[in-house]
Structure 1
Amino acid sequence: MRHHLPKILLFSGTVFCALNPAFSQSILGFDAAGTQKEVALETKFDQQLKAENLRAHMKRMSAHPHHVGSPFGKEVAEYALGLFKSYGFDARIDISYVLFPTPKTRIVELVEPTRFKASLVEPGLKEDATSGQTKEQLPTYHAFSADGDVTAELVFVNYGIPEDYEALEKMGIDVKGKIVLAKYGNSWRGIKPKVAAENGAIGCIIYSDPKEDGFFQGDVYPKGAYKNENGAQRGSVLDMPLYPGDPLTPGYGATKDAKRLDHKDAPTIMKIPVLPISYGDALPLLKALGGEVAPASWRGALPITYHVGPGPAKVHLKLEFNWDVQPAYNVIATLQGSEYPDEWVIRGNHHDGWVYGANDPLSGAVAVLEEARALGELMKSGWKPKRTIVYALWDAEEPGLLGSTEWVEERQKELEDKAVAYLNSDSNGRGFLYAGGSHTLEKFLNQVARDVTDPQRNVSVADRLRAKVLVDGSPKAKQEARSRSDLRIGALGSGSDYTPFIQHLGIASMNLGFGGEDGGGEYHSIYDSYDHYTRFKDTDFSYGIALAEVMGRCVLRLADATVLPFEFQNFANTVQQYATEIKQSVETLRMQADDHNKLLAENRFQLAADPKEPFTQPEPKSTVPYLNFAPLDNALATLEKSANDYARASNGAEKLSTGDLKKLNEILYKSERYLTHPEGLPRRDWFRHQIYAPGFYTGYGVKTLPMIREAIEQSNWTEAEAGIMRVSETLTNFAGQVDKAVSLMK
């Protein structure tokens, strides 16, 4: 489901320390003897991995469309189930029953000033063996759009995000009663119709402009990797910042007999009709627009002058859907722990695709299968994990994280008690390691990255990424790459199956993969195929093996560590940075308001106005109050002391008695739970984590310290003060758990 990889790399800002792979170095959670034993085990694990297995699995699993509810989707789940069983896992399929709408009517036509009917078709290509299976393919559409039949003037709204509507307002353009045309990019797709509806639009059309996703980037498919004029991006527009998962069963599992909302009453289903189109279909619509010339930053790469409208272009948009409940097949495979069977290390990736899904998600799923096979081979040689290992291949991720969310909601209490960590991947490509996750695992992940060799450069994947940061990073990132031994991983918002684990239950989570050298425009189209992937992505599957090596180490170390490898100094430092950013944002807002009002008082806006145009005096801006950050500062100081105390006390913790080790590890893996709040975030109580959350208007994109940050962005100062108090209490309670661990070690 996630965005194109280069955007994730940019967003997460992920970098790692520059440490040479030196297996003589210690490993978090192991003493010296344990480290040697672990290194030997990981070497044996690596020796089992075979790229030809990943290739064979991808070809088999991408042979037909495998969206949720499709015959081949079930066959893919059963194929994976058989593999897990053959590897020695106790495997099963857990079924949820989720709403999955599919289209029965799709019409986009220009009715004025000329006539044009969009084809809404991605044609098969002779160079792409599977692309011609038209009867099995889902057509281009947005799942969870509203039904609708509307005709109205068209308005071009750039990316269709809140600041674009602010710009339109300054132009004197109102979209009320209009159909809007937005470009993909700069936010998750579901935000675009949501904001359009909030501004009074009655329909929304989204297209991929070739400037970001097409011929401007390189040769188009099949000659090159990039989106051709007929390609279109399917996807969900479920309002996931409210809650992900089945929209009819909010907060509880979608079992066969679960009580369900009527789909017309479900709050996360979009309120207006919305449809994706290709840039070939978008061109006649854009050509027909009049009105102001679009601002320079709004213009794309099509051979036209971009106008905003409204009109004279008038568009008819008609959409009807089948609102069916479908079974989602989650494949769950378990290796029972020999010492701590009730402590679970969970590793997941989804298996459903919008069509063939070779890149998204199978490039990650085939690495999961090969990891599991390698663990099975270790089992045959006599190894047994200390903790239980759970491998999961989720269904129905693409429509809105349905499979994983319903599985988590149905097993909430058991997971709160037993889940040590959740390790996620999605699609995987070629290039640089990227990562986001809980910062209590940041040092752990730095050590893993230190010990895996990049297949192209023959240096550690950490060293390769650090070199890139030193060349291409921001000044701050470059400085930290030189001075900080552990460089930062990104914070998690949403967009893949880690979301219910970390955001709802407070289970420490990671999301990993490779990319940055594998551009393309196949995302969520029929061209996300085996042929496309093996020509333009990870062509020899060497980075699929690298992903398995990274994730395999994560699984093995978490499963076998004497002391779980959580660490708190990096977390404390990261949250301190978030707090500093928020304080600076308040100061910036205050200065902007003061400067604006000073100019207003001096009547200098009139001097700057065009004398030929009518002048409207700007409104004064509200004064930004002084927020009391003292409780947050005190909580951060407490957290820093607790983190430092833990770092000192944990040296030699492996020597604790068996009983105390069990108590210590339970404190450690449950510590992330204390970063949640039972009331959740304002207006969206499903999201409980108080340090990370997807933004209300960013969709996938993370907001850190979200209650405080979003209140400030909305000038809701009362809520910002309440957020400061809540986050301060949360961090103090979390520090209290760290102190419990310190006391146990003393």
Structure 2
Amino acid sequence: MRKILLLFFTFSITAAFAQQKTLSGYTKTSSDQEWEAEKKFDSYLQPANLDVWMKRLAGRPHHLGSAYGKQNAEFMRDLFKSWGYDAQIETYKVLFPTPKVRQLELVGPTKFTARLAEPALKEDATSGQTKEQLPTYNAWSADGDVTAELVFVNYGVPDDYDQLERMGIDVRGKIVIAKYGGSWRGIKPKVAQEHGAIGCLIYSDPEGDGYHQGDVYPKGPFRPQHGVQRGSVSDMPIYPGDPLTPGIGATEDAKRLDRKDAGNLLKIPVQPISYADAQPLLAALGGPVAPEKWRGALPFTYHVGPGAAKVHLKLEFDWKLVDCHNVIAKLKGSELPDEWVVRGNHHDAWVNGANDPISGMVALMEEARAVSELVKTGFRPKRTLVYCAWDGEEPSLIGSTEWVEHHATELQQKVVAYINSDGNGRGFLDAGGSHTLETLMDEVSRDVTDPQTGIPVRDRARAYKATTAVGAKARKDILDKKVLTLSALGSGSDYSPFFQHLGIPSLNLGYGGEDDGGEYHSIYDSYDMYVRFKDPKFAYGIALAKTAGRATLRLANADVLPFDFKAFSKTVNGYLTEVMTLLDNLRESTEVENQMIKDNVFVQAADPLIKYVPPTPKDAVPFLNFSSLQNALTSLEKASTLYADLRANNTVPNTNLTTLNETLYRAEQKLMADAGLPRRAWYRHTIYAPGFYTGYGVKTLPGIREGIEQRAWAEAQEQIEATAKAIERYTKEVEAASRILMMR
């Protein structure tokens, strides 16, 4: 079936390639000029440049605060300057802990000392740079010296602790061990801490990240037995960036919190380990056999514990301030210099970081260079382009967050949109962002050709989704939808401060899906790994440059910014249906569960070591009043339809064009809640946010949805009203844009 569908799409080339269309936001004349500029732009893109720059930038470890990280920033700044950009480095002073002591031992029933290190490989030229490599650790773990029984908690997400509770297992005073996967890593120690655990280990199970997936590195791309995933475990759903300066830029003289008062830092020690180090620990566990869905691919029966298995974990960190170097390169707009299109990718890595993030960074650089070549021909973007190379993304989106907080007022006044990328590889387009930008990205993805199949990247992505869909109806729904659909954005990359803190329309773009591997955040994320297994000819790096480059240029040159309020309205109406259904389902399941408890009906385990504990009856789920939000969305639907009708012929108004465009790109800011989301005021967007317990994963209508999930009924009702007011403010902006169009 997959081959048939892919062949179908190969021969079903969209009409855009047979007949050139006027771009949204452009007149016929300006559209023709844009098409001509983009053809030239494509001709300037050279994959050899990506290869050379990756070899240079990933040549040595370049984490936040490292000497080579600073050298990379200076190298990129100088390149941007040579291309005609006004480029500089903006430096912030930020907290960044690095390990001084790391010890992990199994102290009973047998003895074992964990290696906590990744071996160099002769097949990987940079894997032996041990003096410059950050050791295997989780940034923002607390210092600690703890010894306790071990408990296996599966992925360590809230549902897993519900299962443990039903099994009569308590983690208070214990050290937990969790698998990577199932959520962002920082959620695992957060939930463990909330349940009273005194330490947390996180390991990569070979079922999802190792030999169960295929040959391990260097024979294949998957994680070898001693490979370890480093990473941040700050409570980023509270706020990202420098923990000591929430809400303000971390300049030299910034007022800083005492570390103990930082609301997003953990109180327990956390250490990532390889599956080679995890195997003796898990094998020593007693207690009940783990539920079937919890079991991994290691060669023994998985048990939950606790019991004889006892471990000692000792961690100590150097909590110091380091320099965070952002590269900011501007190309002044020819007509609208105070309207900015910002394009960013981070440059720091946990070690060498060829894939994450240099594959995306070199695509951005080539995109910027190709734009500079266009300028030499006499073409200059109408709006100012700002190309950014962020530092400190890996620990907690530090560089972008500090820059956004430092320049917040100016950015809210000037930035039309922010376009982000990160790691990139062979495969399918993945595009997420504000749904007002959906039409723009549909047209961009229609006009970029996939290097492997020769069809539009939009169509290849749709074919992939159809072939991997579960069920005939899901497949049909995908095939029937002829336009690109943007995914909603949670967190995990540098769009977050722009989008969810300031309300700047944002996109996150990248390719992948045929570049699977286990090098993530290890010493094996190297140039050698990348050119063997990820994107050997940098064809998808060029595809990313074409995709992000078109989005950047079309926003920079549009006569009327191509914002699609109708797409946004339709999407948010879908989110409302989801949360109302969530409430109904929760009410029904609560009634059923409470009846089962009343009837004394609960499952007895086959395993005699499992003592199932019946759950406590829950409060009944009330009915919430959604009428204010339903009414607000009805008004938005009318306003967005009117605006779409007025813009249907792409006629550009003769007057008030600047005011119109400012109204369009600032409309998203009206969706910000002044008080922020409950328990995390830094996140202010009422429509999109990372989940409180999902981390990277998005929660749409987050205040409402999470109020329902947490059974905080009064809070959920308050958030319905707050979201309705935000939609009403937003609708007024759409109506104002329509009035300008009617004045022409």
Question: Structure 1 residue 632: deviation in Å?
Answer: 1.4
Q: In structure 2, how many angstroms separate the alpha carbons of the residues matched to 1:552 and 1:23? A: 22
Matches of 2:83 and 2:162 in 1, distance apart?
Answer: 56
**Offset at 1:678?**
1.1
2: distance between equivalents of 1:250 and 1:22?
52
Distance 1:614 1:124, change over 3 A: closer
Partner Cα separation in structure 1 for residue 13 and residue 697 of structure 2: 24
Looking at structure 1, the residues matched to 418 and 660 of structure 2 have their Cα atoms a distance apart, in angstroms, of: 19
Which residue, 433, 437, 440 being the options, matches 1:441?
A: 437
1:482-561 correspondence to structure 2 within 5 Å = 482-561=479-558
Name which of 262, 267, 276 aligns with 2:263.
267
> For 1:621 and 1:321, how far apart are their aligned partners in 2?
43
1:234 maps to which residue?
Answer: 230
Q: Secondary structure at the match of 2:388?
A: strand
Of residues 621, 644, 648, the one that matches 2:641 is: 644
Partner of 2:675: 679
User: Which letter does structure 1 place at the counterpart of 2:628?
Assistant: P
Contact 2:332 2:384 (8 Å CA) reproduced = yes
Letter in 1 for 2:569: A
Q: Does 2:293 match 1:297?
A: yes
Q: In the TM superposition, what is the alpha-carbon distance from 1:699 to its structure 2 partner?
A: 0.5
3-state SS of paired residue (1:605): coil
Q: Work out whether 1:458 is the aligned partner of 2:454.
A: yes
Partners of 2:241 and 2:607 in 1: CA distance = 55
Distance 1:122 1:614 in 2: 40
1:318 counterpart SS class: strand
Q: Which moved further from structure 2: 21-30 or 253-262? A: 21-30
Unaligned runs of 5+ in 1: 1-15
Query: How far, CA to CA, are the matches of 1:182 and 1:121 in structure 2?
Result: 19
Does residue 473 (structure 1) correspond to residue 469 (structure 2)? The answer is yes
3-state SS in 2 of match to 1:398: helix
Q: Does 1:89 align with 2:77?
A: no
CA offsets 1:296-327 (integer angstroms, 9 cap, x no match): 00000000110100121100000000001000
CA contact (8 A) 1:17 1:481 kept: no
Residue deviations 1:578-636, cap 9 Å, x none? 011111111111111222233445x2617989999989665333211111111111111
CA distance in 1, matches of 2:400, 2:179: 30
- Aligned equivalent of 1:32: 28
Q: Is the 8 A contact 2:458 2:484 kept in 1?
A: no
2:252 alignment partner in structure 1 = 256
Deviation at 1:570, TM superposition (A): 0.8
Q: CA deviation at 1:546?
A: 0.3
Say which of 198, 202, 207 aligns to 1:206.
202
| Distance apart, 1:481 and its partner CA | 2.8
Residue in structure 2 matching 1:131, options 127, 133, 136? 127
1:384-399 aligned at under 5 Å gives the runs 384-399=380-395
Q: Check 1:186–1:611 CA distance in 2 against 1; reply closer, same or farther (3 A cut).
A: closer
Aligned to 1:409: 405
**How far, CA to CA, are the matches of 2:117 and 2:291 in structure 1?**
31
Indicate how the Cα distance of structure 1 residues 341 and 148 shifts in structure 2: closer, same or farther if over 3 A, else same: same
Query: Structure 2: 5+ residue runs without aligned partners?
Result: 1-11
Checking the alignment, whether the CA contact within 8 Å between 1:359 and 1:427 is kept in structure 2 is yes
Give the structure 2 partner of residue 79 of structure 1: 75
What residue in structure 1 maps to residue 278 of structure 2?
Answer: 282
> For 1:499 and 1:21, how far apart are their aligned partners in 2?
35
Contact 2:166–2:614 under 8 Å retained in 1:
no
1:350 aligns with 2:379: no
Whichever residue aligns with residue 255 of structure 2, its letter is K
Q: Which residue of the partner structure matches residue 7 of structure 1?
A: none
Q: Aligned residue for 1:670?
A: 666
Structure-1 residue corresponding to 2:8: none
Q: 1:571 aligns with which of 568, 573, 593?
A: 568
Q: 1:582 aligns with which of 571, 579, 589?
A: 579
Q: Secondary structure at the match of 2:656?
A: helix
Question: Equivalent residue for 1:8?
Answer: none
Amino acid at match of 1:451: D
- Rounded to whole Å, the distance in 2 between the matches of 1:618 and 1:364 is 48
For 1:174 and 1:609, locate their aligned partners in 2 and report how far apart those are by CA, in whole Å.
18
Cα shift at 1:445: 0.2
* Aligned counterparts, 1:358-377, within 5 A: 358-377=354-373
Question: Deviation string for 1:17-74 (max 9, x for gaps)?
Answer: 9665356112111111111111111000000000000000000111100001111000
Structure 2 residue corresponding to 1:427, chosen from 423, 427, 436? 423
Q: 1:719 to 1:511 in 2, by over 3 A?
A: same
Q: Which amino acid aligns with 1:667?
A: T
Is the CA contact 1:654–1:661 (under 8 Å) kept in the aligned structure 2? no
Aligned-partner Cα distance in 1 for 2:596–2:202: 39
Could you tell me how far apart the structure 1 residues matched to 2:551 and 2:493 are? 19
Counterpart for residue 375 of structure 2: 379
Which amino acid in 1 is paired with 2:478? A
Q: Which residue of 1 aligns with 2:623?
A: 626
- Could you tell me which amino acid in structure 1 is paired with residue 138 of structure 2? H
Is the CA contact 1:469–1:477 (under 8 Å) kept in the aligned structure 2?
A: no
Distance 1:621 1:549, change over 3 A: same
CA-to-aligned-CA distance 1:377-396 (integer Å, 9 cap, x gap): 00111011100000000001
How far off is 1:483 after superposition? 3.2
**Are 1:318 and 2:314 matched, yes or no?**
yes
Q: Does 1:334 align with 2:344?
A: no
Residues 164, 606 of structure 1: alpha-carbon distance in 2 compared, 3 angstrom cutoff: closer
Shift of residue 402, structure 1, vs aligned partner: 0.4
Determine if the alignment matches structure 1 residue 702 to structure 2 residue 668: no
Distance across 2 between alignment mates of 1:585 and 1:737 = 30
| 1:235 Cα offset (Å) | 0.5
Paired AA for residue 653 in structure 2: L
Deviations 1:329-376 (A, max 9, x none): 100000001111100000000000000000000000000110011011
Q: Distance in 2 between matches of 1:179 and 1:385?
A: 56
* Gap change, CA 1:723 and 1:128, over 3 Å in 2: same
Which residue is equivalent to 2:62? 66
Check the 8 A contact 1:147/1:321 in 2, yes or no: yes
- Tell me, in whole angstroms, the C-alpha distance in 2 between the residues paired with 1:622 and 1:479: 40
Shift of the 315–50 alpha-carbon distance from structure 1 to 2, 3 Å rule, reads same
| Normalised TM-score (structure 2) | 0.96
1:145 is paired with a residue whose SS is coil
Distance 2:607 2:352 in 1: 59
The offset of 1:263, in angstroms, is 1.8
**1:337·1:388 contact (CA, 8 Å) conserved in 2?**
yes
Question: What is the CA-CA distance between 1:469 and the residue it aligns to?
Answer: 2.2
Contact 2:149 2:310 in 1 (8 A): yes
Say if 2:590 is the partner of 1:593.
Answer: yes
> Structure 2 matches for 1:55-204, cutoff 5 A?
55-204=51-200
Provide the C-alpha distance between the structure 1 equivalents of 2:180 and 2:14, rounded to a whole number of angstroms.
Answer: 36
Q: Distance in 1 between matches of 2:622 and 2:43?
A: 61
Any conservation in 2 of the 1:480–1:487 contact (CA below 8 Å)? no
Contact 1:690-1:706 within 8 A present in 2 as well: yes
Aligned residues: 729
Matched to 2:398, the amino acid is L
- Do 1:18 and 1:462's aligned partners in 2 also have CA atoms closer than 8 Å? no
CA distance in 2, matches of 1:197, 1:393: 35
The CA distance in 1 between the partners of 2:593 and 2:305, in whole Å, is 30
